[in-house]
Amino acid sequence: MVRFPEGFLWGAATASYQIEGAVGEDGRGTSIWDTFSHTPGKVYRGDTGDIACDHYHRLEEDLDLMADLGLQIYRFSVAWPRIQPEGSGAVNRKGLDFYRRLVEGLRQRSIEPMPTLYHWDLPQALEDRGGWMSRDTSERFAEYAGIVYEALADSVGFWITLNEPWVIAWMGHAKGVHAPGHKDTSKALAATHYLLLGHGLALEVMRSAGHDNQLGVTLSFSSVRAASGDPADAEAARRVDGNTNRLYLDPLFRGSYPGDMLEQYAGASDFAFVRDGDLETISRPIDFLGVNYYYRKTVVDGHNDSGLKTAEPYPDLNATTVLPEGVETTAMGWPVEPDGLTELLVRLHEEYTQVPIYITENGCAVYDYVDPEGEVDDRERISYFDAHFRAAHDAMRRGLDLRGYLVWSLLDNFEWALGYSKRFGIVFVEYDTQRRIPKASARWYTEVIERNGLED
């Protein structure tokens, strides 16, 4: 048996815009994802989150589903535009009430709530005033965090400020494939700083409210390696690691930006947005780190002339990620490399922090379908999870203080620019009827939770 420690928390994660729908209800304001998804050409097939999984209206049913699956912790996100429709000022009580009902419903079912305060749905009104390229947004975020915290701190023990600042900054501000759709390296750098600052300011507000809760942040990580022994590939891997991991880890845990990244981006930004005291704010102690891991990045220098298949070009970094020979890939085209998770977790523990870690997302997209018997036989997902749970356990044997594991995702949902074309759920959502059908992986996961481990 591969056994996890007593008290280990098994759960699942979602995010507001990806599942809630009800975008025009109970006073919710417009978010940048409403604007982006309604802009022709931005999201696959023109899909939007208008209805999504209709979770806002199906809260009780979804809570019962979580209880049936045996979940012990549930990570969701709070939609800022439901709380402050314009991103600042007056509080929309009806918005807060929805999350109150959600938290109460979880508590009644003995499921630990783990809210994320920002999972990408910035109020459009703030984007119109400069969004994450503006210091004002960091301050507004702290104010909003304080509002939600005051309302729910009594009944919620785990709090996550941001989800994946790297994805927000680089996919949303440099590549332009996510909202708000900017394509400018200097904007991604400013967004990086103001997101991290927003996290730090929000922590200060929450700490000063005087509850004894666990406060943390979730980062997206990839383990990174060079595709060959060529020193040029090793250098390229260093740059990709700097951008993906260290640009976020260093300010949070060491109070400084990595020197090689400041040099790397010297032509794009003078970093004048970093003011005295900002890095102290950003590096205030957290109680836990949320880790999202999907895949490893294997890197070649420059354009890819290695003969290996290209995964993703990084022109800013003069690097390209490639797929290792023979590697299995998911429906996203992402390589399946569970040992990359062990490598990442051990590195975090050895080089950065000893705070408890929660895996706040891990999972895979599969080409799921309902078979004639009405079942969804997603055995690829079962083997993905099985391998990654074992990989996490290996890191625990090497000293990592891992306290919980939350799979992405509870439900199939709006996968951002890819709309509903990619299914990550352990529960299938039939979008035209909104029927929920637990997949084979959900049944399997329930047994893992009951056993608190895996068979040998």
Determine if 269 is a binding residue for ligand FCB (CB under 6 A): no
Alpha carbons 326 and 336: distance in angstroms, whole number: 11
Looking up tokens 């020193």 gives: 231
Which parts of 238-257 interact with ligand FCB (CB under 6 A)? Answer: none
Q: In the set 30, 92, 186, 220, which binds ligand FCB (CB under 6 A)?
A: 220
Phi-psi region of 325 (alpha: psi -120 to 50; beta: other; left: phi over 0): beta
Active-site residue among 20, 337, 343, 361?
A: 361
Determine if 380 is a binding residue for ligand FCB (CB under 6 A): no
Of 82, 112, 161, the C-alpha closest to 406 is 112
Q: What CA–CA distances, in Å, run from 313 to 17, 177, 399?
A: 28, 14, 35
Looking up tokens 């709090």 gives: 159
DSSP-derived secondary structure for 243-285: IIIIHHHHHHHHSS--HHHHHHTTTT---TT--TTHHHHHTS-
Which parts of 279-338 interact with ligand FCB (CB under 6 A)? Answer: 292
Alpha carbons 121 and 18: distance in angstroms, whole number: 10
Determine if 385 is a binding residue for ligand FCB (CB under 6 A): no
Token pair in block for residue 282: 């950003």
The region of 3-11, 161-169, 223-231, 425-433 touching ligand FCB under the rule CB under 6 A is 161-169
* Closest distance to ligand FCB from the beta carbon of 13 (Å): 8
Active-site residue among 164, 337, 380, 415?
A: 164
Of 275, 294, 381, the C-alpha closest to 338 is 294
Q: Which is nearer to ligand FCB, 2 or 168 (CB)?
A: 168
Phi-psi region of 333 (alpha: psi -120 to 50; beta: other; left: phi over 0): left
Q: In the set 2, 9, 15, 117, which binds ligand FCB (CB under 6 A)?
A: 15
Q: In the set 48, 124, 163, 441, which binds ligand FCB (CB under 6 A)?
A: 163
Token pair in block for residue 217: 């942040």
Q: Which is nearer to ligand FCB, 163 or 304 (CB)?
A: 163
Which parts of 397-416 interact with ligand FCB (CB under 6 A)? Answer: 408, 415-416
Q: Which is nearer to ligand FCB, 118 or 408 (CB)?
A: 408
Alpha carbons 349 and 337: distance in angstroms, whole number: 19
263 is a catalytic site residue: no
25 is a catalytic site residue: no
Size of the site for ligand FCB (CB under 6 A): 12
E-strand ranges in 119-210 read 158-163
Q: C-alpha angle with apex 51: 88 to 156, nearest 5 degrees?
A: 50
Across-strand partners of 218?
Answer: 163, 290
Q: Which is nearer to ligand FCB, 92 or 192 (CB)?
A: 192
Q: Which is nearer to ligand FCB, 265 or 416 (CB)?
A: 416
Q: In the set 33, 76, 144, 424, which binds ligand FCB (CB under 6 A)?
A: 424
Q: In the set 54, 62, 121, 164, which binds ligand FCB (CB under 6 A)?
A: 164
Alpha carbons 42 and 404: distance in angstroms, whole number: 35
Tell me if residue 323 falls in helix, strand or coil: strand
Q: Which is nearer to ligand FCB, 280 or 367 (CB)?
A: 367
* Closest distance to ligand FCB from the beta carbon of 116 (Å): 9
* Closest distance to ligand FCB from the beta carbon of 52 (Å): 12
Query: Pattern of binders to ligand FCB over 69-98, x per CB under 6 A?
Result: ------------------------------
Residues that bind ligand FCB (CB under 6 A): 15, 18, 163-164, 167, 220, 292, 361, 408, 415-416, 424
Which residues are known catalytic residues?
Answer: 164, 361
